[in-house]
Chain A
Amino acid sequence: MAVEMTERCKRIRERLVYTDPIICPERAVLWTESYKQTEDQPPVIRAAMALKETLSKMTIHIYEDELLVGNQGSALRAAPLHPQINLWFLNELDSFEKREGSRFLISEEAKEKLRSVEEYWRGKTVYERTMALLPQEAIDSMNSKMFTCSYTLATGTGHFLLNFEKVLRDGFHGIQRECEEHLQQLDYAVPEDFEKFSVYKAVIIVCEAVKIFAERYAALAEEMAKEENNVSRREELLRIASICRRVPYYPPRDFYEAVQCTWFQQLIAQIESDGTGLSVGRLDYFLWPFYKKDREEEKLEKSFAEELMDSFWLKCGEIIEVWNEDDSRYFGGHPISQTITLGGTEADGSDSVNELTYICLDSTMKVKLPQPSVCVRVHKNSDFAFLRKCAEVIRCGLGMPAMYNDEIAIPSLMNRGVTMEDARRNWGVAGCVEMGLQGQMCHFANSGYFNLVKCLEITMDGGFDRGTGKQVGPKTKPAEEMESYEEFVEAFKAQFHCAMHHMVEIGNVVNTMHAKWITLPFITAFTEDCIGRGKEVHDGGAKYNHDGPQGVGLADVADSLCVIKKLVFEEHAFTMKELMEAIRADFTGHEEIRVQALKDAPKYGNNNRYVDDIARNVLTYFCEEVGQYRNLRGGVFVPGQYSNSANVPFGEDCGAMPNGRKAHTPIAEACSPSHGAEKHGPTQAALSVAHLDHVLVTNGTQYNQKYHPNTLKGEKGLEALVGLIKTFFEAGGFHIQFNVVSADTLREAQKKPEKYRDLVVRVAGYTAFFVDLNKAIQDDIIGRTEMNFA
């Protein structure tokens, strides 16, 4: 393995890392100009024409040193805006530069241009059209902050795993031919055929647009070659030109062409669609035939293949999206969740790890950027050498690769109607942790985030929300009057049931608006079975269709229910009335009740069956509720259990809880134990998490563990990590990710010890939680951690 990138890739990386993100008005303006000209056309054709206008006119660059070409915005790290969905940015034009996190530069000229698109879009955005249609109860329910749909109301769908295999096989030329053949069979007199005309025509426009786009790069490369004095760079540019004349319109003939083809497809999807989680998927699997053939025929040096993969990683790193300020709280650090899934199996279940898989893991380790996000599929026959390699990359401290368990994912997808063959062959991570199917699925994976803790709070108040002063759920008994644990659980279920129903109402309206007014003809072109059905991808064209809301705060809910069950109704340590009084006072003056709540009831995360069963039951109930709804595309709602960074703002929205959590402090992230609850170390916490029924959670569960680098030192550190992953998966876990803590995290732990109670520092013969050390020692460890990571 090459341990370092080539000098060329280092320069590209440098350029990327030292460029400040800016706001780019170009896409918004071109898109709007096109829409003004196409009022008489059906939406899907309008979208196709807007894409064609954009791809024909947008600024293109071939940056110095590049082997792969294709840029997203008018300059490096220039983030586009998507006025067709939401005009939020008009209110934030002057604050982009003032943000604390996720800051963007913006020129006065850009602001002017962006203001100019308002007139056309005002009243036509997905957001406005949705809000006009929503029932008031759904809005009230959302305003109580029991859930948020801010993602779908502000951005596009995202979360597609594109069908690269089809384009690598047929090219867009092949797709265009397919559409032309379909068009010949259609009859305007047949009602079912009517809308198909527009879909096929739109896809044909898109295929032409793709050709124009790639040929613009070819022309630019030829022009640059003429001016280039350096002979080897000139040759490179001419090679780039010849590749861009070929792909992605025609299928690639070698590995280099295949990689460029893949990049173009990924890039154009990013330009067409807003929304995060547009994922690359099984790169090592679908590029493997090209790699293998070129290597066997001795046409490809391994070192060049490595450089191309590094280049691909760097290209993914260029993609940038801007979130509104509010969503930036839920999704800190403007993540794009462009995910690559490595490893996994063939359709027959056999291991599909190959030489390219290892090259991709090396690229992750060498390029060291937050994007692309890299995942690995592990199954019962994954070999030790491969897992050890993954552990080596994890140890670098990027939090990657995240590890996923095929033995959960495959039955989970099958439980939602996916065939075994599709699940084995095509499942990959779409975005954060969501199970997607490559090339086959339309996935509204972020349809809502549920604040389960807020739902518990509203349950305690009998459906009344103290925040908005409104009755937002059914009138159930206030907690003080309840006579049994079962009664409380039933009330919680009634409140959740009602909120979930409202969320589905909102989800369905949003999705209809996307299908009707946004449309994605580019992604439609290759997603199975859009062409066969003659349907746009938002409109039921895809073979599989999922909508996924997430639960957040499971651990706090489980621990709170446990306190009510054990301390109130079993042991009568205090009454429900006393507990409620303490909670409403944020435990001030009721410290003894808080101490009992904190210490006398077991907490999720310690492999204690009593409370782990409660957690499992809550999650199972959540999954059953979510799973009963169908979506508009003929698919189903699938539950998820992950939080991004929503656990912090969600916590701010909630008062004190029966588990002893103080008001407005963060709630537990994803499937992790609540803050400070984990007392028995990583093995026992992992077993608690694995006790949940992950198979039910088809939109994914997430579990993070934090380690100090010392824990992963040496060969033993790697072997133990592999052992931990294997054991967690055998016990039934789905996802695990490791934060090898940075010095920054340790500093944060110094400031907020209550949040990092579980962070263990391990040195041979010595044992301590980091937060138990005094400041001088903590500083010492921070200093050493920095040395380790230098």
Chain B
Amino acid sequence: MRKTGLIYSIQRYCIHDGPGIRTNIFFKGCQLRCPWCANPESQHKQRELSFVSHKCTQCGLCIKKCPQNALRKEKNGRIDRKSCDLCGLCVRCCPSDCYQIFGREVTVTELLEEVERDRPFYQNTGGGVTATGGEPTLQPEFLTEFLGACKDRGIDTAMETHGNAPAQVMERLASVVDHFLIDIKCMDNGLHERVIGAGNQNTLENIRMLAGKMDKEVSLRIPCIPGFNLNEKNRKELILFAKEIVKTGNLHMIHLLPYHNLGFSKYEALDREYAYQNVMALRDEELAEYETELRNEGLPVTIGG
């Protein structure tokens, strides 16, 4: 069994990913490549160094310290990623916190300690811990053990997932997850496969299994992406699917998540291209009609997390 998990961030006072005040654990690594992804640092399974250039005062300390001579003087293209061995000296010596390494190994005990620190807030709000990412189900043993330990301590658990995991993994997780938040990127299997790199059949089946047969509380997260899934056909199919789940299972809520481009800075910091760089963010109002459509079908729906 794996002794450690790879996470890249812990965020506190999260209120959009399950009930109450929650502590979000961001797991690193995801096998899908949604081109609009707002968290590029979550995708790779390897540790990664980022550099936020506008905070740099060009004090030169990092360049002097770097044992691999992997840092250039210029702010643009600062890191020579071929030479960098992620030793972290630049992160440590930068007084302006320009550098950050995404990805750290944690044990279940360490992670529990982090989560316990917010316990008083869970108690007053019905909150708890939310495993998100990246894709938490890529680290099934660690995740099950961690969430199981949370349950043993009476901490509420939620998991945000793209749902594309083997049914046995989901089945096992169902015993330690109180609230499932599962993404449906689009209903068309072909399009899903073409754009994202995998089909959606697995996800839809898992939703059927969890919400239906296993009677777990499932919420659907619908990223609303201009030019991808906002067409009528997709909406109709989604409604059909959601109505099926409502009829046979425990569908808690449908979240329509308006596309935003806030992740752009992070692509820059990782020296990566953002395919959605020029796509305008959606305002909540632009989804009002979509929301009404779902509501008129008797579906539980809200805009935002």
Considering the complex, give the chain B residue whose CB is closest to the CB of A705.
B13
Q: Which of A680, A713, A767 is B304 in contact with, Cβ under 8 Å?
A: A713
Considering only residues 263-304 of chain B, those with a C-beta below 8 Å from chain A are 263-266, 268, 281, 302, 304
User: B53-64, CB under 8 A of A: which get 1 and which 0?
Assistant: 011000101000
Contacts of B268 in A (CB 8 A): 774
A591 and B61 contact, Cβ closer than 8 Å, known pairs A711-B13, A764-B305, A772-B52: yes
Say yes or no: A774 contacts B12, CB within 8 Å: no
A780 within 8 A of B: yes
Q: Which stretch from B77-85, B115-123, B194-202 is at the chain A interface?
A: B115-123
Q: Which of A171-179, A297-305, A429-437, A725-733 contacts B (4 or more CB under 8 A)?
A: A725-733
Chain A, 533-546, contact with B by CB distance < 8 Å: what is the 0/1 string?
Answer: 00000000000000
Indicate with 1 or 0, residue by residue over B118-146, a CB within 8 angstroms of chain A CB atoms: 10110111010000100000000000000
Interface membership of A683, Cβ < 8 A: yes
* A723-B20 CB under 8 A given contacts A764-B304, A777-B261: yes
* Chain A residues whose C-beta falls within 8 Å of the C-beta of B9 in the assembled complex: 767
Residue of B with least CB distance to A717 = B15
Instruction: Tell whether A724 pairs with B92 under 8 Å between CB atoms, given A717-B15, A765-B39, A768-B262.
Output: no
In the bound complex, how far is the Cα of B38 from the Cα of A404, in angstroms?
38
Task: Check B54 against A774 for contact (C-beta < 8 Å).
Answer: yes
> Which of A307-315, A361-369, A455-463, A592-600 is near enough to bind chain B?
A592-600
Instruction: Please determine whether B17 and A764 come into contact, CB atoms closer than 8 angstroms.
Output: yes
Q: Mark A751-788, 1 if CB is under 8 A from B, else 0.
A: 00110010011111111100111111100110000000
B24 at the interface (CB under 8 A from A): yes
Query: Does B21 touch A at the CB level, under 8 Å?
Result: yes
Contact flags A700-728 to B (C-beta < 8 A → 1, else 0): 00000000000101101101101110110
A residues 598-627 touching B (CB-CB < 8 Å):
598-599, 607
Q: Is B14 an interface residue (CB 8 A)?
A: yes
**Bound: A714/B260 CA distance, A:** 19
Does A681 lie at the interface of the complex (its beta carbon under 8 Å from any beta carbon of B)? Answer: yes
**A684 at the binding interface (Cβ < 8 Å):** yes
A757→B93 CA distance, assembly (Å): 18
How far is it, in angstroms, between the C-alpha of A611 and the C-alpha of B182 when the chains are bound?
41
Chain B 93-128 interface mask (CB, 8 Å, partner A; 1/0)? 111110000000000000000000110110111010
Q: Which positions 140-171 of chain A face chain B at CB distance < 8 Å?
A: none
Q: Contact between A683 and B257 (Cβ–Cβ < 8 Å)?
A: no
Q: Cα distance A757–B52 when bound, in Å?
A: 14
In Å, the complex CA distance between A676 and B94 comes to: 14
Interface size class of chain B, counting residues whose CB lies under 8 Å from the partner chain:
35 or more
Which of B59, B95, B262 is close to A777, meaning CB atoms less than 8 Å apart?
Answer: B262
Within 8 A of A (CB), among B235-263: 255, 257, 260-263
Specify which chain B residues have a CB less than 8 angstroms from the CB of A599 in the assembled complex: 92
When distances are taken between beta carbons in the complex, the residues of chain A under 8 Å from B11 are: 681, 767
Asked if A684 and B59 make an inter-chain contact with CB atoms under 8 angstroms apart, the answer reads: no
* Shortest Cβ gap from B1 to chain A (Å): 29
Q: Give the contacting residue for B260; candidates A592, A676, A753, A766; CB below 8 A.
A: A766
Which of A716, A727, A753, A754 has a CB less than 8 Å from the CB of B120?
A727
Q: How many whole Å from A612's CB to the nearest CB in chain B?
A: 12
B233 CB–A CB distance under 8 Å: no
**In this assembly, does B16 line the interface, its C-beta being within 8 Å of a C-beta of chain A?**
yes
Q: Which residues of A contact B12 (CB under 8 A)?
A: 680-684
Point out the residues of chain B lying under 8 angstroms from A766, CB to CB. Answer: 38-39, 260, 262-263
Bound: A763/B268 CA distance, A: 19
A687 within 8 A of B: yes
B residues within 8 A CB of A681? 11-13
Q: Is the CB of B13 within 8 A of A716?
A: no
Task: Give the most central of A595, A767, A768: most B CB within 10 Å.
Answer: A767
Q: Is the CB of B13 within 8 A of A720?
A: yes
| A595 contact from B95, B132, B264, Cβ within 8 A | B95
**Residues of A657-702 whose CB lies within 8 A of B:** 660, 676, 680-684, 687
Q: Tell me the minimal C-beta distance from A578 to chain B in angstroms.
A: 17
B281 touches A780 (CB 8 A): yes
Residue of B at shortest CB range from A598?
B95
Question: Which listed residue, A676, A683, A754, A772, touches B13 by the CB 8 Å rule?
Answer: A683
Q: Is the interface of B mostly helix, strand, loop or mixed?
A: mixed
A254 vs B155: C-alpha distance when bound (angstroms): 54
| A684 and B125 contacting across the interface, CB-CB below 8 Å | no
The residues of B that contact A753 with a CB separation of less than 8 Å are 55
Which residues of the partner chain A approach B261 to less than 8 Å between Cβ atoms?
A: 777, 780
Partner of B117, one of A684, A771, A775: A684
Closest to A712 in B: B15
With A591-B95, A687-B117 given, is the CB distance from A765 to B38 under 8 Å? yes
* Complex alpha-carbon distance, A392 and B305, angstroms: 19
B7 CB, min distance to chain A CBs, angstroms: 13
A764 and B16 contact, Cβ closer than 8 Å, known pairs A731-B120, A774-B268 = yes
Q: Of residues A716, A762, A764, which shows the largest number of chain B Cβ atoms within 10 Å of its Cβ?
A: A764
Q: Which residue of chain A is the closest to B221 with respect to CB atoms? A: A765
Q: How far is the CA of A724 from the CA of B10 in the complex (A)?
A: 18
Chain A residue nearest to B10 in the complex (CB): A680
Output the residue of B12, B13, B125 with the most chain A CB within 10 A: B13
User: How close is B288's CB to chain A, nearest CB, in angstroms?
Assistant: 15
A774 touches B125 (CB 8 A): no
Indicate if the CB atoms of A763 and B260 lie closer than 8 Å: yes
Which residues of B from 1 to 39 have beta carbons under 8 Å from A? 9-17, 20-21, 23-24, 26, 38-39
Known: A684-B117, A687-B120, A766-B38. A720 touches B15 (CB 8 A): yes
* B121 interface neighbour in A598, A714, A723, Cβ under 8 Å: A723
Which positions 635-671 of chain A face chain B at CB distance < 8 Å?
660
Given A680-B12, A720-B13, does the pair A765, B265 have CB atoms closer than 8 Å? no
Tell whether, in the assembled complex, residue B305 and residue A765 are in contact, meaning their CB atoms are under 8 Å apart: yes
Query: Bound complex: CA of A583 vs CA of B262, how far in Å?
Result: 39
* B265 touches which of A687, A760, A772 (Cβ 8 Å): A772
Least Cβ–Cβ distance between A417 and chain B, in angstroms: 32
In angstroms, Cα B118 to Cα A776, docked, is 34
Chain B residues within 8 Å of A607, by CB: 117
| Least distance between A491 CB and chain B CB atoms (Å) | 28
A8 to chain B, nearest CB (A): 33
**What residues on A are CB-neighbors of B263 within 8 Å?**
766
Whether B262 and A720, one on each chain, are in contact in the complex, defined by CB atoms closer than 8 angstroms, is no
How far, in whole Å, are A684 and B21 apart by their CA atoms in the complex? Answer: 13
- How far apart are B272's CB and chain A's nearest CB, in angstroms? 14
Bound complex: CA of A723 vs CA of B17, how far in Å?
Answer: 16
Q: Give Cα A680–Cα B123 distance, bound, in whole angstroms.
A: 19
Question: Given A683-B13, A767-B9, does the pair A777, B304 have CB atoms closer than 8 Å?
Answer: no
19 additional A-B residue pairs with CB within 8 Å, beyond A714-B304, A768-B265: A591-B61, A598-B95, A683-B21, A683-B23, A683-B121, A684-B118, A720-B20, A730-B120, A762-B16, A763-B262, A764-B16, A764-B257, A765-B132, A767-B24, A768-B266, A771-B55, A772-B52, A774-B54, A777-B265
7 tightest A-B CB contacts, nearest first: A764-B305, A723-B125, A681-B12, A720-B15, A764-B16, A723-B124, A774-B265
By a beta-carbon cutoff of 8 Å, the part of chain A in contact with chain B is: 591-592, 594-595, 598-599, 607, 660, 676, 680-684, 687, 711, 713-714, 716-717, 719-720, 722-724, 726-727, 730-731, 753-754, 757, 760-768, 771-777, 780-781
Residue pairs across A and B with Cβ atoms less than 8 A apart, 21 shown, are A591-B59, A592-B93, A595-B95, A607-B117, A660-B95, A681-B11, A682-B12, A687-B117, A713-B304, A720-B13, A723-B20, A723-B121, A723-B124, A723-B125, A731-B120, A764-B17, A764-B305, A765-B17, A766-B38, A766-B39, A774-B54
